[in-house]
Amino acid sequence: MVVVSVGLHMHNFNNFLIYKYTFWHALDQKSLYAAYPADHYDVNHYGPIFSLIMAPFAIVPSLWAGVALWHLALALFLWWAIQKSTLTSEQIVVVIWLTAHEMLNALGMSQFNVATAAMILLTYAAVRQGKDMWAAFWIVLGVLVKVYGIVGLVFFFFVRNKVKFSLWLVAWTVILVALPMPFFGAEYVWSQYGEWITCLGEKGQENLLSDFQNISLLGMIRKIGYAVSVGVPAYYQVFDRLAAPDTTNWWMSTWSDLWIIIPALLYSALPWLRIGQYKSYSFQLMCLALVLMLVNILSTGAENSSYIISMLGVAIWYIAVPWKRTKLDLALLIFCFVLTSLSPTDLFPSHIRTYWIRAFALKSLPVVFIWLKLVWEMCTKDYRPSMSS
């Protein structure tokens, strides 16, 4: 898979160049979040510690070799995380088959989302095994690199020694925030944390009608609503970057994503009221599946390649329950595999792929349906047949 991803996408290594130059820009005391059109297009959106993570790959003189090593590291990291998870061998095989295409897609874009998925898996695995130090480590590292790692905090409910776990969270935050400072200087690193926070805020606004981002429930609602209000042809002008969005339009000036986020989070929180199910291994795995799905469907930063995270959640949802899945469940799984995983491919005609699925963020739709059903199951089903001893 690593070889195929490098061979098929050698012409499209912009993401790797962005990542690579974070290390060199940090060494040169340059802003990590400014534009550098001579080096790459777009800008970096990862935390200062990411510059250190990229150091081993940045110093490789050959672009081919650097990208190949980066892809190999990502693939092995996720493979290791899946192996470290508490899934059975049979379940792991199914997970790998269901997520293989999304994995290839993410590797083809050299995306860090593969590592984000791995860190969420490792967080739960560490909590399950009582390894509080490592659970806290993966959460803090995930937050300081790309914020998404914060979802690991929901596993706090399954932690046995909550005081110890909380202390490790504080300790790792101090250690990892300061880790880049001996290499790049404390004053510089602090300034970059400030720039990073500003950058993330600006990126959220840019993503609202983005053609390649906000592939989420939030994006689907906003993009469809905006298209209906201004007319589909006018929306396509914005989508093709031939016109700017009408900032006076209700969907841009008044509509707030919080009107979806807050009810969605409240709905997702309902299963946590079932304290009697907490010790059930299957229930815990459904909580893992839930957060893996939410990472994308409630994020304006969700992109095509980030669905490696949610497809892992979908796979776990399907295989890790103590009852036989229904025909409806199988239909939802197939629907998700086809529309979510295969929609960026030539299986779909170019016009449909671009001006329907991508333009209206329909890649997120099957995951939304499965998320709705998952929460309902978690509120009504008994997971205790697979309760751990």
- Residue 203: what pLDDT? 82
Model pTM above 0.85? yes
- Three-state DSSP class for 387? strand
- Residue 7: what pLDDT? 45
Please state, in angstroms and as integers, the Cα–Cα distance from residue 145 to each residue in 138, 303, 326, 334, following that order.
11, 17, 39, 33
Judge whether 314 and 369 are in contact, CB under 8 Å: no
- Taking 70 as the pLDDT cut, the residues of the chain under it are 1-12, 385-389
- Residue 389: what pLDDT? 35
Exposure b/e, 243-254, CB count within 10 A at least 16 = b: eebbeeeebbee
CA–CA separation, 63 vs 65, rounded Å? 5
- Residue 1: what pLDDT? 52
CA–CA separation, 108 vs 263, rounded Å? 35
Judge whether 88 and 322 are in contact, CB under 8 Å: no
> Which pair of structure tokens corresponds to residue 300?
């304006």
- Residue 206: what pLDDT? 80
- Residue 251: what pLDDT? 95
- Residue 385: what pLDDT? 65
CA–CA separation, 55 vs 24, rounded Å? 8
Write the pLDDT tens digit of every residue in 130-182: 999 999 999 999 999 999 999 999 999 999 999 999 999 999 999 999 999 99
User: Could you give phi then psi for residue 149, rounded to 5 degrees?
Assistant: -60, -15
